[in-house]
Chains A and B, each alone.
Chain A
């Protein structure tokens, strides 16, 4: 709780800092929206040539895209600046955070909090909304309930990836790009149906780095499609558990990283 409070205080300061440059804020927010918008335009262009991608129609792919974009967008908004930890380690400014009476994870997560990242969430929500109007889903209570659960759990999984990536920066201070490969790379991967990828990759994304739980599994369940690995349908419901497990592991990695920093100072 102390962490949430500190997070709020620091994020608030960053919002005020950004508002010192209003024009720049407006432009970067629009830029973030536009960049992700063209991201989806690329998918639409692809569908002007083909009827289906790996057996999935445009509204279905848009559904995947929306789930992934909103989950990732929320995680990116909340703790997306954690990849700046490496810079703080290099220039020694992490020490200034360590002498404040607040948890370090919260302080680092709120570092450079950027409201412009709402651009991505907005775009993702629009795509998700459009997909829902075009899809003919047989809405049972379970399917309806899985929607918000999947979005929140997906956000949790991406948050865990961000935290684990930051923890790795304690060891390798210029590893921000590695982290980006899993976060930005991960969300791009999830925009396409699992059926277009090789079995090995799908297996890895399901069992090793469980990004598949962000949208592939929940979407397969909601749309009533078979999952390429022949997993039973109820597996989609383990999404919150998977997310909790990821967060726990990331938390442990963070603690180990911080402990190593405090014993080596570099």
Chain B
């Protein structure tokens, strides 16, 4: 496996001016990315997570050549992104989840035609790629629709297709499922899985949705305060953070806290009770156990969110 993305001790320091009085400014340095080192092999699918302001976007901006690192060595496909931004652009695809790059007032197809010419994609390859992407992302009926009339989910799919027309070797996705409904999320995830399997495209995605990672990424990197806190499989992250899922049960009537061996009750509110159990374990035996012994009306499982997992991870570190 060759290392497609290489970061060695990469740093990004911002000098921020803060108003301290009338016309008085104080300069101080913010280390957005601090001595960050990792490699991503060709064909890997990596989740890049962390709380807001952790340095995620700064890293993505350095990887795409938007920002120049303050120090360290950074290579994508052997190219130094900040020095050869335009050359790199032909080999990467970028999707910003919250900002579309499609042409608002024009039919979707027009945005693709522009990419065709701007990226100088050979005609045959453009037609082939467009055909395949339109099929996989279910865009066929939307090609003549002005982008402003598309739903958020349709627009996201449209954006992903636009980022892939020139056959990039790596795709960066910044919050690709944010704000999407369940069906749209499933479509996007299904497509990304297929893209990675079929074309071997390297995928790096930032997200706040743990399910994105669970369903897509064999590897997850956690960054906070500009540093890599964790790098490995998702299951390991759960163990590292001892994260818990929550089972919410509605009983027929108010009862004292239920007593089951594999979970503990964290909250009781009338007939509703909240039970925490380890995230790595299946909910099925617990539900079966509960159903056998208590009068259940309804239940639902809540996934831990990334912030909670990371927060727990810190507590663990501080204790040990």
Tell me the A49-98 residues at the B interface (CB within 8 Å): 91-93, 95-96, 98
* B85 contacts A16, C-beta separation under 8 Å: no
* B66 contacts A95, C-beta separation under 8 Å: yes
Binds B, one of A135-143, A162-170, A232-240, A258-266: A258-266
Which B residues touch A2, using CB under 8 A? 86
Q: In the complex, what residue of chain B is closest to A259 when comparing beta carbons?
A: B68
Which B residues touch A231, using CB under 8 A? none
CB within 8 Å: A-B pair count: 67
Partner of A100, one of B58, B89, B106, B110: B89
The answer to whether residues A95 and B103 also contact, given A102-B118, A265-B67 and a CB cut-off of 8 A, is: no
* B146 contacts A20, C-beta separation under 8 Å: yes
Q: How large is the interface on A (under 10, 10 to 19, 20 to 34, 35 or more residues)?
A: 20 to 34
* A9 contacts B99, C-beta separation under 8 Å: no
* B70 contacts A263, C-beta separation under 8 Å: yes
A175 to B85, CA, bound (A): 27
Q: In the complex, what residue of chain A is closest to B86 when comparing beta carbons?
A: A101
Is the C-beta of A115 less than 8 angstroms from some C-beta in chain B? Answer: no
* B119 contacts A264, C-beta separation under 8 Å: no
Q: In the complex, what residue of chain A is closest to B100 when comparing beta carbons?
A: A96
Is the C-beta of A99 less than 8 angstroms from some C-beta in chain B? Answer: yes
Is the C-beta of B105 less than 8 angstroms from some C-beta in chain A? Answer: yes
Q: In the complex, what residue of chain B is closest to A16 when comparing beta carbons?
A: B106
The answer to whether residues A263 and B117 also contact, given A16-B106, A101-B86 and a CB cut-off of 8 A, is: no
Contact with B along A84-124 (1 / 0, CB 8 A): 00000001110110111111000000000000000000000
Which B residues touch A91, using CB under 8 A? 99
A92 to B174, CA, bound (A): 13
Binds A, one of B90-98, B277-285, B299-307: B90-98
Contact with A along B1-34 (1 / 0, CB 8 A): 0000000000000110000000000000000000
Closest Cβ of chain B to A170, distance in Å, is 14
Binding site for B on A (CB under 8 A): 2, 6, 9-10, 13, 16-17, 20-21, 91-93, 95-96, 98-103, 259, 262-266
A-B contact pairs, 12 of them (CB 8 A): A17-B103, A20-B105, A98-B65, A98-B85, A99-B94, A100-B89, A101-B87, A102-B118, A103-B86, A262-B82, A263-B68, A265-B61
